[in-house]
A and B are shown apart, each in its own frame.
Chain A
Amino acid sequence: MTTYIIRRLLYIIPIVFGVLLLTFVLFTLVGGDISIEIAGKGATQETIDEIRKERGLNKPLFLSWDSQFINHFKNALTFDFGRSRDREPVIDKIKRGVGPSLALTVPMFFGVVIISVSLALIVAFVRGSIWDNLAVVICVAGMSIPYLSFILFGQYFLAYKWGFFPVFFSPDLTPAQYVTLPVLIGIVAGLGGSLRFYRTVMLDEMRSDYVRTAFAKGLSTRRVLFKHVLKNAMIPIITRVVLSIPFLFLGSLLLERFFGIPGLGYLMVEAIGSRDYFVINAMTFIWAILFVVFNVLTDVCYALVDPRISFE
């Protein structure tokens, strides 16, 4: 087990190297020198030079120990991403955004997983019936409605028109107040796709011999569903759950933009608007690291839930 985990951890190194290479190519080679843009219109050459010096843009690109290429790696690995365009250290901005973002995405994430897995179990049990067909139709329809429309309609009716929830974030609200409606919208919007996926997984399991055996020996439906089917369906569920973690970002990005929640997604939208490469670079790197780590975690989880998986 330990060797397995170590081997999986070693696998992170080439990926991190690749991500850093990619961000370097994107933001330094392709993106280029934006110091003129930062300095603004009519800036003197001195101001521009000063900005270049401050951000290390005057150093050679490659072939030196103090080159931009080496520094890009050094800075990222020490989580020092320099200052954003408004001169605040990027890492401080990101730290500030983590709290609100997690307050939004964590309940949403668990909501979607728990509700869709339980619904999938029920739907799989009544497979072929009118309820099953209805569920599939609703899922496909739900998947076809753009995410933005879910948010807009939800915000308009539930918050603006009927006043159940606050329309926008404001600092004097508690997280529970400003996060409830976005979380609800996120769950409703995400339910279609996941329910359909889990349903397929469950149906595959329901057709297995062990389910027939379990029913034949007189076990109750509840016991078969929750004890046997759910346990065997765990592998695809875990894969889906972990792989959907990066998509939480998409959800929170749009939701945060609409509800003005000052999280990481909001930060990202701002950075796009102002072409703040420094922030986008840092976010890309951090999210990639998170994703890779979660990927390794999935593999470890596989091994834990399924004793058939060998560590070799």
Chain B
Amino acid sequence: MICFVIIVLYFLLAGFTYLAELCDWQVGPTRWAEEAGESYEPPSSKNIFGTDIFGQSVLRKTLYGTKISITVALFASFISITIGVPLGAIAGYFRGFVDEVIVWIYSTLSSIPYLLLIMAFAVVLRDKTLFGHKLTGITAVYLALGLTSWVGICRLIRGEVIKHRKREYVLAAMSYGCGDWRIISKHLIPNVFHIIIIDFSLRFVTFIHAEVILSFLGLGEAERPSWGAMIDDARIELSRGVWWQMAAATVAIFFISLALNIVGDALRDSLDPKLRIQ
């Protein structure tokens, strides 16, 4: 329950940062690489997490990083679910040649190490134009994460649909004269929906960690702060004894991941008793 509250809190923070930006409230500076105060001020009552090299409040940077991480994870999940669920359902329902092609595609993708694949996508997609939009660093990250991570959910859905396609309710729908697409969308997908929810909650953590690593490597958001970029800054700062930027990012990532891990497990236990972890 507490974990659920933590997750909601993170989402609210992310939403608030959006709103603040949208309504142009002066909660955060718009130029992050500009002098804003004393450099490297240790945590105090004025700046709870201290300040960075430009004197920007680390607390604000952390909040902004929350927004970036949550957005990336949401978009990437959305992309991977929109690709993975239909493909998995189609493969499992029709079997035969379609199944073989889809399995071939995902076996190919999954034979390349996940992080390497994401990085290859992110590097290539960066600064490319897609439907008239120039892909900036962070959009390339959404796409790279989404386009590479649908494999897991696709495989799960396919397996589950194969189990379900000979069940009575599907046969009943068939004998009623339901079309294939109607059976898939109205009968099969709702019945395997719990898998989507479990996968979503567990994958969210992976996305957040992947985003941190990508921004750390300089593939993510370039101009605005993110947790990964904060850790990258901290790499140099630590030797000067500046630990607060590092600590703030770690704590922020730690709590959201912990909460998501626990909620994910709880969801799995209650929605899918077969997979229960004792």
Stretch at the interface among B27-35, B73-81, B182-190, B254-262: B254-262
Q: Could you tell me if A27 and B278 are in contact, using CB atoms closer than 8 angstroms?
A: no
Q: Could you tell me if A15 and B108 are in contact, using CB atoms closer than 8 angstroms?
A: yes
Q: Could you tell me if A250 and B113 are in contact, using CB atoms closer than 8 angstroms?
A: yes
Task: Say whether A215 faces chain B, with CB atoms less than 8 Å apart.
Answer: no
Task: Say whether B219 faces chain A, with CB atoms less than 8 Å apart.
Answer: yes
Please report whether the interface of chain A is mostly helix, strand, loop or mixed according to DSSP.
helix
Assembled-state Cα–Cα distance A249/B228 (Å): 19
Q: Could you tell me if B254 and A145 are in contact, using CB atoms closer than 8 angstroms?
A: yes
In the complex, which of the residues A18, A249, A257 contacts B108, with contact meaning CB atoms closer than 8 Å?
A: A18
Given contacts A18-B105, A22-B109, A145-B250, contact A272 B217 (CB under 8 A): yes
Assembled-state Cα–Cα distance A269/B232 (Å): 14
Task: Say whether B95 faces chain A, with CB atoms less than 8 Å apart.
Answer: no
Given contacts A160-B239, A272-B119, A280-B123, contact A140 B258 (CB under 8 A): yes
B interface size (C-beta, 8 A): 46
Scan A133-145; emit 1 where CB is below 8 A from any B CB, else 0. 0000000110111
Assembled-state Cα–Cα distance A251/B2 (Å): 32
Scan A227-263; emit 1 where CB is below 8 A from any B CB, else 0. 0000000000000000000110110011001100000
Q: Could you tell me if A249 and B246 are in contact, using CB atoms closer than 8 angstroms?
A: no
Residues of chain B contacted by A203 (CB below 8 angstroms): 278
Q: Could you tell me if A149 and B128 are in contact, using CB atoms closer than 8 angstroms?
A: no
Task: Say whether A275 faces chain B, with CB atoms less than 8 Å apart.
Answer: yes
A interface size (C-beta, 8 A): 51
Assembled-state Cα–Cα distance A292/B277 (Å): 30
Stretch at the interface among A89-97, A173-181, A282-290: A282-290
Assembled-state Cα–Cα distance A156/B245 (Å): 14
Task: Say whether B125 faces chain A, with CB atoms less than 8 Å apart.
Answer: yes
Task: Say whether B191 faces chain A, with CB atoms less than 8 Å apart.
Answer: no
Residues of chain B contacted by A273 (CB below 8 angstroms): 218
Given contacts A143-B261, A283-B116, A284-B116, contact A148 B111 (CB under 8 A): no
List 29 A–B pairs whose Cβ atoms lie within 8 Å, in order of A's numbering.
A18-B105, A18-B111, A21-B108, A26-B120, A127-B278, A140-B262, A141-B258, A144-B253, A144-B257, A145-B257, A146-B249, A146-B253, A147-B213, A148-B213, A149-B246, A149-B254, A153-B246, A156-B238, A160-B238, A249-B115, A250-B115, A254-B213, A269-B217, A272-B123, A272-B217, A280-B119, A283-B116, A287-B116, A291-B113
Q: Which 6 A-B pairs have the closest CB atoms?
A: A18-B108, A246-B113, A144-B257, A144-B258, A149-B250, A250-B115
Q: Beyond A250-B114, A284-B116, list 10 extra A-B contacts (CB 8 Å).
A: A19-B112, A22-B109, A23-B120, A145-B250, A149-B253, A196-B277, A203-B278, A249-B113, A249-B116, A253-B115
